Amino acid sequence: MTTHLPSADTLESFHKDLDEIRDDIMAKVGQEDANYIRKIVRIQRGMDLVGRLTMVAGFYHWIFWVIGVVMLGCAKILNNMEVGHNVMHGQYDWMNDPHLNSREFDWDAVADGNSWRRTHNFEHHTYTNIIGKDRDFGYDTLRLSDDVPWKDHYRFQPIRLIVLMLMFEWAVAYHELFGERIFIGKRHKEGKLPISHAQLIKDFFTKIRLAVFRDYIFFPAVVGLFLGWPMFFAILGGNFVANLIRNLWANIIIFCGHFTEEVHTFNEEECVNESRGQWYYRQILGSSNIEGSKVMHIMSGHLSRQIEHHLFPDMPSYRYMEAAERVRQVCAKHNIPYNTGTLWDQYKTVVARVIKYSRPPKKTGEVANA
C-alpha cells in the first residue's frame, strides 16, 4: 500500500498546527498532571493490596476470590498502562520524582522494562508501521498487510491471535530476543544492540524470576502456610487469572491502536529524509483511537488516544484528551483521515484484518513478488 502524500504546503501547515497544539498544552503541564499521576499510582497500589487481601478472603466465600482477582487484574492494568507505559515513555520525567522516572521505572509484568524501552520507545515510535523496521507491527507473528510476504503458516494466524492475547506479557518479554533470534533460528550478529546478547538473556530471565516468584511462589506460599494447600492453589490460580485479564485487555487495546482496518503501513523508501510534517502524517495514518467512557480511557492508559500518543509521545497522558479534540479539528481542516470508533467497532475490524490477511494474496501482480 503506497501512501499518497498531501502536498508539501499542506504538510508544512499541518506540521505548524500540530506543533502549536503541542506547545500550548506542554506549557500548561504542571501540578495538575503531577497530582493526577500520583492519584492513579495511589489507586493502583490500593487496588493491588486490597485485591490480594480480598482474594485471601475467598477462604470464607468464593465470591471474595472473584472480586479479589478482578481487582488485582485491574491493578495490573493500571500499573502497566496508565502508569508504566506512560512513565516509561518519559511523560512524567519533568517531575524529577525518582519513583516516576522513565529510566528507573519497571512494571508488574514478565517483560524487562529496559528491553521494552528499546524495542517500543525506539523502534516502534520512530519507525511506526514501517514494514520490516517496526516489529511491533504484527509482533513478528501476524501478517496484517499485503506488504508482508506470504508464508504458509499465516493460515493459522487467527489461532495465533488468541494465543498472543492470552500470553501477551510473555510475547512482549520475548520480543527483543526474538528479533535477535536468540533461542530459535540463526542468532543475529552481536553489536546491533547497545547491550550484549549475554546481558539480554540474563535480564530476560532475571525479570521472569522476579515476576514468577511474586505471583506463583511468594504470595501463594505465604497464604498457603496459614490456610493450607487449597488456598495455596487458590492464590496461585487467582494470580494467574489476574495476569490473564491484564494480558487480554492490554492486547485488545494495543491492537485497536495499530491494526484496525484503515491503518496504513509504509515502506522504508517512503520514509527516507522524511520531513517533520510527513512524520506526523505517518503517525496519524498509522494509528487509531477508541471512543468510550472516562474509566475506559484511564484503563487503556490513554492509548485510546493512540494517535495523540504517537504525535506527542512524551506529553503526559493526562493531556491526551484535550489534545485529541484539537488534533481532530486540525485533521479535518487539512482533509487528513482521523481513525476512531468505539472499542467494539474497532476491535471487529482488527479481527477482520487478521482473518483477511490469513488468506494467501491474490496474484494481481502488484504484491506477488514483494
Give me the residues that bind other proteins (CB under 8 A), please: 23, 26, 29-35, 38, 41-42, 45-46, 89-90, 93-99, 101-103, 105-108, 117-118, 121-122, 125-126, 194, 209-211, 213-214, 218, 313-314
**Cβ proximity of 343 and 296 under 8 Å:** yes
| CA gap 185, 362 in Å, rounded | 29
Residue type, 31: Q
Choose between 146 and 308: whose C-beta lies nearer to other proteins. 308
How long, in residues, is the chain?
370
Half-sphere exposure of 11 (CA within 13 A, CB side): 16
Nearer to other proteins, 126 or 196 (CB): 126
Phi-psi region of 365 (alpha: psi -120 to 50; beta: other; left: phi over 0): left
Q: Which is nearer to other proteins, 159 or 217 (CB)?
A: 217
User: Could you tell me which residues come within 8 angstroms of residue 98 by beta carbon, excluding any fewer than 6 positions away?
Assistant: 104
Pairing of strands 289-291, 340-342: parallel
The cell numbers describing 319, all together, are 493531556
- Output the DSSP codes for 194-220: SS-HHHHHHHHHHHHHHHHIIIIIIHH
Least distance to other proteins from the beta carbon of 107, Å?
6
From the CB of 102, what's the least distance to other proteins, in Å? Answer: 5
Q: What is the nearest approach in angstroms of other proteins to the Cβ of residue 23? A: 7
234 by Cβ neighbours in 10 Å (0-12 / 13-18 / 19+) ranks as buried
How many degrees, rounded to 5, is the angle at CA 288 between CA 87 and CA 272? 85
For 299-334, give the DSSP string.
HTTTGGGHHHHHHSTTS-GGGHHHHHHHHHHHHHHH
Least distance (Å) between residue 330 CB and other proteins? 19
Question: Measured from the CB atom, is 214 or 362 closer to other proteins?
Answer: 214
Minimal distance, residue 224 CB to other proteins, in Å: 17
- Nearer residue to other proteins within complex by CB, 115 or 289: 115
CB closer to other proteins, 112 vs 146: 112
Of the two residues 46 and 158, which places its CB atom closer to other proteins in the complex? 46
Min dist CB 82 to other proteins, Å, is: 14
Q: In the complex, what is the shortest distance from the CB of residue 113 to other proteins, in angstroms, rounded to a whole number?
A: 8
